[in-house]
Chains A and B, each alone.
Chain A
Amino acid sequence: MSKGCDLVVNGRSVHVDADEATPLLAVLRDELNLRGTRFGCGTEQCGTCMVLIDGVPDFACTRTVESAAGKSVTTIEGLACNGALHPLQQAFLDEQAGQCGYCLSGILISAAALLERNKRPSRAEIVEALDKHLCRCGMHNRVIRAVQRASAAMAGAAA
């Protein structure tokens, strides 16, 4: 039996050698050198490790790499397209939606999933989608405005 497992990360097929019980987060950061996905608590309580697994936000700190085998994983590094920032990343810069920035990777991932399924979310819908993310610096309102801005920009681009 061959060791490790295969998965698709940011559109690229990869084989990883880690034992199957290794958290996906450790594989992303240490084996694949994708360090934008963060360790915050290790217990699904803060959201800094959020990634998309087949398009659905999930906690990379508790998911084992085995559970992601054969699936498509998107990290913060996979949001930008051909070197151009994702509209959400641009909107976060435009709104200066950050203080320390440690929570931003995870928030951007959840926000990207939200805009994928709901092009024009209300404030309440944004809050609901992001409520599993903790931010200690207190830039929640800027984040909400940035998501609204990105939503408008993406609607404008699609029109």
Chain B
Amino acid sequence: MISNSLPQSLIDNPLLSQWIAFDEPGRVRVGSGRVEIGQGIVTALAQIAAEELDVTFGQVNLVSGQTDFSPNEGFTSGSYSIAIGGASIRLVCAEVRSLFLERAAEKLGCKANELSIEDGRFFRAGKDTGMDYWAIAGDVALDRRASGTAPTKLPSSYRVVGKNIPRVDLPAKVAGAAFIHDIVAENVLHARVLRQPWRGARLVALDESAVRKAAKAPIEILREGNFVAFMADAEINVMRAAEAARSVARWEGGEPLPDNAGTPDWLKAQVARDRTVETGLKGRTEGKVFSARYSRPFLTYGSIGTACALAQFQDGALKVWSHTQGPAVVREWLARALSLKASQVSVFHRQGAGAYGHNTADDAAFDASFIALRHPGRTVRVQWSREDEFSGAPLSTAMAIELRAVLDHDNKPADWTIEIWSPPHAQRPGYNGNSNFAGAEALPNAPPLNEVGDVPDERGGGATRNAYAIYDLPRHRLIHHMLPKVPLRTSSLRGLGAWANVFAIESFMDELAERAGEDPVTYRLSLLSDPRPRRVVETVAQMSGWFESKTLGEGRAHGFGFARYKNIAAFAAVVVEIEVDEEICLKRVWCAADAGLVITPDGARNQIEGGIIMGASFAMKEQIRFKDGRIAAAGWDDYPILRFSEVPEIDIRLIDAPNEAALGLGETSVGPTCAAIGNAVARALGKRIRDMPLTRERIMTTLLAE
């Protein structure tokens, strides 16, 4: 059932006029705080608006992430954009449609239910009344609170929602300039910023003459504390300057990282804030105990493009162009960090390369803004280098996870404990009251950092995201060791803690099934009473021929993984087929997903497939290492990701559930894919690797440990 209670975005932005306007003839402007990060959201949200307003898709001008015009919806994250942002637009547009129908009926001297709307024009008994939204827009006051009570369309009557509308942003992207990097600005001043190699590092020496010489043209050098920027009229000169500066700068102090940072031993040695959450039956259960330890390393988000921002300060107003995921939040925190009023700052979202979490977009916005304040009238353009993307970006944190089960006489878990050691998974601008801009931390008199917390469980959790297994467990204990003192900006990467928890839980389920002598899928189904997840599991088993192909031959195996993202978003079950020699070769992937009502099925498949490929890359390849106190990765050779030659054929089935609420699906397939790969490797090798990534090195070590 689709609920019509007010979604959070509509509580935060209660006026209809914050969402919608008819100020351009024939076009309706619909605002959204959700931004395009490669997921197709602008297209999907416009579909929802067109559906409820009875206008064509082309009549909707979706204005996304422009702080002067769009509602404040925080960050585009957590797979909330359709479930919360889309639900808000749906209610707003339905209500606006009703208000206009009432007004039109008054004018025409008829009842509202005698009228219908097509392409924005109002019809009575099949005849065009000559009236449309734009003709009466001046007579309908939209500065009123949304009630959320107007009738919305029935899914069975949908014309636009559920259709594969082509992405509105794609034509520009196959033709050429389409990104923030490509904006042609007047009076531009190019800048590059030297980044601290670790948190709190002090710049003790910088040979400026060497930097100027390397630039091969006159440059300006701005130094304030440990913030150093190089500026010139041509980008190539500041690129050269920054590259030279990186090699000649000498740093001391601060908190360099040890080489073993991120290993389970290191995590467990950190200062911890502990809590325990017990649910289900009280007390303890006696029986056979089985336990296992899993881990994941530090990762980076690895956008293919580097961060870029433009900023211009003139007449007391700061304009910022950014590919941030949270324009309204960044506006507020830029103002705070730069001692401006929020009303002096406008942030205009422009598209960057794919964002999979808290990347360097916000940092670049700060860099450009800080420099712009010192160069009024110039349009300051900052772009990051690839080296800085690896060494200066927030990190997705390493985690250690232990699972313990007390088994009953049927080998089913009667008592279940998950124990997690992890720094937080969210340090975006504003989190914990810190600006969290890399550049701001480098300034003299930078405000001391408030102690960090993690995303609370009621908002999906960070390290505890998907820590609660979806299965029927009579007694559940979560022990969370939150590590607040780790000197890194550990922040959000697609799924936060979810995929590591799903990897651990689903690996553990396979291990329990093996002890019970049962097929892993059959074992799970015996612990899944809810028909909805059962259907997802059964569908992928059928698609992949799971029960018909138990043995695939030497070194080959199927593996299974399942989760419901955040336990409230979309369900996804994944089966992989792999072949292991010295390395893992991913041969095939099958995925069944239930995301309720799907707005754009092709877009949903694209997201689910992208999540599968990213999950495979996380599980098999990715790891940030540390050396000499800093991140030991300068380029993609040091941080391989899945390539064309490693991508398997993928078969996805969306389970048809149009009468169920739309569930966030952008992150749902990552965890089940990681788990399915881990389980397939265990079946193929006969030995389990519990630490990601499942590299050739780990496979060899595991096999040699016989």
Contacts and interface: CB of A to CB of B under 8 A. Distances in A.
A40 B171 CA distance: 21
B388 to A, nearest CB: 11
A59 interface: no
Given A85-B175, A100-B37, A138-B609, A35 B182 contact: yes
Interface in A67-115: 75-77, 80, 85, 89, 92-93, 96, 98-105, 108
Interface residues of A, number: 54
B166 A93 contact: yes
A80 B351 CA distance: 23
A135 B176 contact: no
Given A127-B644, A141-B649, A96 B174 contact: no
A136 B614 contact: yes
Contact of A35 (B171, B176, B602, B610): B176
Nearest to A133: B644
Contacts of B356: 136
B304 A40 contact: yes
Contact of A93 (B164, B171, B351, B637): B171
Q: Max chain B CB contacts within 10 Å: which of A45, A130, A131? A: A45
B410 to A, nearest CB: 40
Contacts, number: 162
B179 A102 contact: yes
Interface residues of B, number: 60
A40 B603 CA distance: 25
A62 interface: no
30 contacts: A26-B236, A26-B239, A30-B235, A36-B175, A36-B177, A36-B178, A36-B182, A39-B305, A40-B305, A40-B306, A42-B385, A45-B635, A80-B175, A92-B170, A99-B606, A100-B38, A100-B351, A101-B173, A102-B354, A103-B304, A104-B174, A136-B303, A136-B304, A136-B353, A138-B611, A139-B610, A140-B613, A140-B644, A141-B650, A142-B609
Contact of B40 (A41, A46, A99, A102): A99
B169 interface: yes
Contacts of B607: 99
A14 interface: no
Interface string B644-655: 110101100000
A129 to B, nearest CB: 9
Contact of B304 (A92, A93, A134): A134
A149 interface: no
A54 interface: no
Contact of A46 (B38, B304, B606): B304
A36 B176 contact: yes
A23 interface: yes
B306 A39 contact: yes
Contacts of B606: 96, 99, 139, 142
B353 A102 contact: yes
B525 interface: no
A139 B176 contact: no
A141 to B, nearest CB: 6
A45 B636 contact: yes
Given A36-B178, A141-B609, 14 more contacts: A40-B304, A43-B386, A48-B304, A77-B176, A85-B174, A93-B171, A96-B603, A100-B355, A108-B174, A136-B356, A138-B610, A138-B612, A139-B609, A143-B644
Contacts of B285: none
B181 interface: yes
Interface of A: 18-19, 21-23, 26, 30, 33-36, 38-43, 45-46, 48, 75-77, 80, 85, 89, 92-93, 96, 98-105, 108, 127-128, 130-131, 133-144
B234 interface: yes
A30 B234 contact: yes
Contacts of B351: 100
A18 B306 CA distance: 24
Contacts of B612: 138
A127 B304 contact: no
Given A43-B386, A96-B602, A136-B614, A35 B177 contact: yes
Contacts of B170: 92-93, 96, 98, 101
Contacts of A142: 606, 609
Nearest to B385: A42
Contacts of B636: 41, 45-46, 134
B39 interface: yes
A128 B166 CA distance: 29
Interface of B: 37-40, 164, 166-167, 169-171, 173-179, 181-182, 184, 216, 234-236, 239, 302-306, 351-356, 383, 385-386, 602-603, 606-607, 609-614, 635-637, 641-645, 647, 649-650
Give the secondary structure class of A's interface. Answer: loop
A123 to B, nearest CB: 9
Contacts of A38: 179, 181, 305
B85 to A, nearest CB: 18
Contacts of A100: 37-38, 303-305, 351-355
A30 B167 contact: no
A134 B173 CA distance: 16
A140 B606 CA distance: 10
Question: Would you list the 5 A-B pairs with minimal beta carbon distance, nearest first?
Answer: A36-B176, A100-B38, A138-B613, A101-B173, A100-B354
Contact of A89 (B174, B354, B611): B174
A102 B159 CA distance: 31
A158 B179 CA distance: 35
Nearest to B386: A41
Contacts of A144: 644
A135 B613 CA distance: 10
A76 B176 contact: yes
B669 to A, nearest CB: 10
B305 A99 contact: no
Contacts of B352: 100, 102
Nearest to B603: A96
B174 A136 contact: no
Contacts of B39: 99
Contacts of B173: 98, 101-102, 104
A149 B610 CA distance: 21
A138 B304 contact: no
A31 B586 CA distance: 44
A40 B386 contact: yes
A136 B177 CA distance: 19
A136 B235 CA distance: 26
Contacts of A40: 304-306, 386
Contacts of A128: 645
Contacts of B305: 38-40, 48, 100, 102
Contacts of A98: 167, 170, 173-174
Contacts of A105: 176
A82 to B, nearest CB: 14
Nearest to B614: A138
Contacts of A96: 164, 166-167, 170, 602-603, 606
Contact of A101 (B169, B181, B602): B169
Nearest to B638: A45
A8 B354 CA distance: 32
Contacts of A140: 613, 644, 647
